[in-house]
Amino acid sequence: MTAPLKQPKVPFFRPEISEEEIAAVAETLRSGWLTTGPRTRQFESNFAERVGAKHALAVNSATAALHLALNAAGIGPGDEVIVPTMTFTATAEVVVHQGAKPVFVDCLPDTMNMDPACVAAAVTSRTKAMVPVHYGGQPCEMDRLLEIAAQYDLWVVEDAAHALPAQYRGRTVGTIGDLTCFSFYANKTITTGEGGMLTTDDDELAERVRIRSLHGLSKDAWKRFSAEGSWYYEVVYPGFKYNLTDTAAALGLGQLSRADDFWRRRERCAARYCEQLADVPQIKLPRAQAHVQHSWHLFVIQLELEQLSIDRNAFIRQLDEAGIGTSVHYIPLHMQPYYRDTFGYRPDDFPVARGLYDRIITLPIYPSLPDESLQYVADTVRSIVAEHRR
């Protein structure tokens, strides 16, 4: 008999799914319309209204959204796209899928967002786009990045997988760059299990994305199995199978309606962590900059290793032994075998990201995180630091 999986005292993340959302999914299953249909279109409409974008297009992942964004922008072989090294591989892999070259840049030491000075220095005659990643849910310095984009005529494709609901100088993320890509993966700020959304104010880009997200079939091809549709369709582009299902959208509609409540509870968790650990000099805490609304998808601490007799990996092991789930966001992409070997990067090419990687730990943060569990995490961090401070 297989032993049951050990459940941590404090899991890294736990999704919050309501009975109403479960009922909505069940109702969709009973309706007989499971794939892209009316609920997906309603989810798109509600999402566009929520962020203030003219168009929102639902897809099956943020990776799909990023790929479609670059595809719609015409990125292709011979082009270069500037990408932060401190991100998940999806941000760069879609550049490779388009036959273009991802050009990595270093990050800022406080927010871990891409450094605008490094972006400006990385622009060449082949650069066609940049992909700012709002790390952990804190928006990048978009004013400076937009200036660079305007100077060199670059597309701005925002990777906002962490950034719902986030704002930059009063502007909602989803309305700033040319195209913005959101994630609804299981541990994101709202979830559809798997799923994503692309927003844009550009009518032509939106039309390209919509058609190319479903095999390149002519407009509203999803209606061909409904009473108002027709069996006839035309293939106008060699597209992709990136559409979102109605079962996922049914969950997304309920989650979206609770997005602000989720955010307020995440923000409260972040504030409590900061209160509990403010007097621990061996820990550097994340801070929301004054001109942004941080979505608090991640709560990433930095260990001041010079003041500790323990390294990051051993620190994580002790948290794990205490039943606390953690993660590391991220192993910089220029250190990953594929990107290192294909493009000839060395670990010290991006010293800020390289140095941060050795010292960062992501602690549990989610709307339903109980106060006593958060307190336990903070107390355990303090205890490990006390045992290993120099």
Give the DSSP letter of residue 309.
Answer: S
Query: Letter for the amino acid at 56?
Result: A
Half-sphere exposure in the Cβ direction for 379 (13 Å, CA): 9
Active-site annotation, residues: 188
**Residue 266 CB partners (closer than 8 Å, separation 6+):** 189, 295, 296, 297, 365, 366, 367
Question: CA of 290: how far to CAs of 138, 176, 268, 274, 336, in Å?
Answer: 11, 18, 17, 16, 34
CA dist 277 and 287 (Å) reads 13
CA 344-345-346 angle, to 5 degrees, is: 125
Q: In the structure encoding, which two tokens stand for residue 292, read together?
A: 């942004």
How many other CB atoms sit within 10 Å of the CB of residue 240?
18
Helical H runs in the chain? Answer: 19-31, 38-51, 62-72, 90-97, 116-122, 142-152, 203-212, 246-257, 259-277, 312-321, 337-343, 351-357, 371-388
Contact 246, 35 (CB under 8 A): yes
How many other CB atoms sit within 10 Å of the CB of residue 325?
18
- Residue 129, beta-bridge partner list: 81, 155
CA dist 267 and 297 (Å) reads 9
Burial class (CB in 10 A: 0-12, 13-18, 19+), 289: middle
Contact 262, 367 (CB under 8 A): yes
CA dist 117 and 334 (Å) reads 18
Q: b/e per residue, 153-174, with b = 16+ CB within 10 A?
A: ebbbbbbbbbbbbbbbeeebbb
